[in-house]
Amino acid sequence: KKAAWAKLRDEPSVSADGKVFTTAANIGTPKDLPGVIENGAEAIGLYRTEFLYMDSAELPTEEEQFKAYKEVLEGMQGKPVTVRTMDIGGDKDLPYLPLPHEENPFLGYRAIRISLERTDIFRTQIRALLRASVYGDLWIMFPMIATLPEFKAARDIFNDERAKMQTEGIPVADDIKLGMMIEIPAAAILADQFAKEVDFFSIGTNDLIAYTMAADRGNDKVAYLYQPYNPSILRLIKFVIDAAHKEGKVAAMCGEMAGDPIALPILMGMGLDEFSMSATSILPARALMKQLDTKQMADLAQAAVNLSTNDEVIDLVKQTLPELG
Ligand code: PEP
Ligand code: MG
């Protein structure tokens, strides 16, 4: 199997019937680049920049951030790189940025909610990204967007910094894509409206599943409710993909589900454009895609969203594709 996968390293990600997808990698630092290249990623679909903040004794400077972003963009040699602005809070806190104690950190002050209040921190990150943008194909996305005004406020700050840098004579790429994570059910449900504003969506299933099922995967007592294939989740995902496509926008996914062999046939059938996952999952995913027919997978997806339970969906996929085991 390993040898067969290795052959796919420089191949595109295509279904049996010739539909082209993108298989991309999730990374946390420029140090992950060798694994990304080795596994033949066609893009970076999620660069989690919070590690820059967490691996530092103080707020990373614009220069430090610029260097990291430039390294990743250059390393990818013109392939798309989606950088997510910092997602601090929840379980990730910073010693130098004291956050208030919260009863429910995952429902609290986190990610874009911090960025829109601490605009000093956010503007520094945006400036570093803008400066790095000339070294590759930069896509920027905002985490934990719940409302349209949040997205617009973040975009305004981006546009403001870009305008400033242009007056300062600092070169900036003119085709930077701006998008958002869909990881809060409220945003998924209004995806048709968000789709008019964004260049792309990236579905963050790790959080989307937890927030939709109101279940923390890390809590043994309720882990059984963390159900990626629950038809409620699948319907949300389908709605988001369709909403993006109605506006001619890209629908990506960067949660664990994107690299999951049970989910992948369904997601192909729904027409997800980009699958972003751990680098080591890319070649197996590409190999699986090659075997599947998108029209058959569309039927599979349609049947799946009409089932009632997570287990029924697993059984359906395994019956339809016995080779998955
Ligand atoms: C997600 O929520 O699916 C996601 C990709 O973001 P993170 O895992 O970093 O919260
Ligand atoms: Mg998330």
Measured from the CB, is residue 150 less than 6 Å from ligand 1? no
- Confidence tier at 325 by pLDDT (50, 70, 90): low
> What residue owns the CA closest to ligand 1's atom 3?
204
pLDDT digits (tens, 9 = 90+) for 158-174: 999 999 999 999 999 99
User: What residues have their beta carbon closer than 5 A to ion ligand 2?
Assistant: 183, 204, 207
Measured from the CB, is residue 254 less than 6 Å from ligand 1? yes
Measured from the CB, is residue 228 less than 6 Å from ligand 1? no
Measured from the CB, is residue 56 less than 6 Å from ligand 1? no
pLDDT > 90? residue 64: yes
What pLDDT shows up at residue 2? 82
d(CA 222, CA 248): 38
What pLDDT shows up at residue 231? 98
d(CA 222, CA 191): 28
pLDDT > 80? residue 41: yes
Query: Once rounded to an integer, what is the mean pLDDT over residues 122-142?
Result: 98
Measured from the CB, is residue 259 less than 6 Å from ligand 1? no
pLDDT digits (tens, 9 = 90+) for 238-259: 999 999 999 999 999 999 999 9
> What residue owns the CA closest to ligand 1's atom 8?
206
Whole-model pTM: value is 0.97
What pLDDT shows up at residue 98? 86
In order of 9, 68, 167, the CA distances from 72 in angstroms are 19, 6, 26
- Confidence tier at 323 by pLDDT (50, 70, 90): confident
Q: Output the CA 205–ligand 2 centroid distance in Å.
A: 7
The total of other beta-carbon atoms located within 10 Å of residue 37's CB is: 16
d(CA 76, CA 60): 23
Measured from the CB, is residue 206 less than 6 Å from ligand 1? yes
d(CA 197, CA 249): 10
Q: Is the C-alpha dihedral spanning 199, 153, 142, 234 positive or negative?
A: negative
- Give exposure, 94-113, as e/b (b: 16+ Cβ within 10 Å): beeeebeeeeebeeeebbbb
pLDDT, the chain, mean: 96
d(CA 86, CA 74): 21
| Nearest ligand (C-alpha, residue 254) | 1
> What residue owns the CA closest to ligand 1's atom 9?
48
Say if the ipTM goes beyond 0.85. Answer: yes
In order of 52, 54, 108, 127, the CA distances from 58 in angstroms are 10, 9, 23, 18
Ligand 1 nearest atom to the CA of residue 26, by list position = 5
Rg value, the chain, Cα:
19
Q: Output the CA 161–ligand 2 centroid distance in Å.
A: 25
Ligand 1 nearest atom to the CA of residue 143, by list position = 6
Determine how β-strand 13-14 pairs with β-strand 20-27.
antiparallel
Q: Is the C-alpha dihedral spanning 272, 277, 281, 286 positive or negative?
A: positive
Ligand 1 nearest atom to the CA of residue 207, by list position = 2
pLDDT > 90? residue 89: no
Residues with Cβ within 8 Å of 223's Cβ and at least 6 positions away in sequence, in order, are 215, 216, 217
Ligand 1 nearest atom to the CA of residue 256, by list position = 3
Q: Output the CA 167–ligand 1 centroid distance in Å.
A: 36
Q: Output the CA 207–ligand 1 centroid distance in Å.
A: 6
Measured from the CB, is residue 204 less than 6 Å from ligand 1? yes
Ligand 1 nearest atom to the CA of residue 255, by list position = 3
Asked whether the beta carbons of 316 and 304 are under 8 A apart, the reply is yes
Q: Output the CA 317–ligand 2 centroid distance in Å.
A: 26
Strand partners, 178: 140
pLDDT > 80? residue 147: yes
Helices 231-246 and 263-270 meet at what angle, rounded to 10? 30
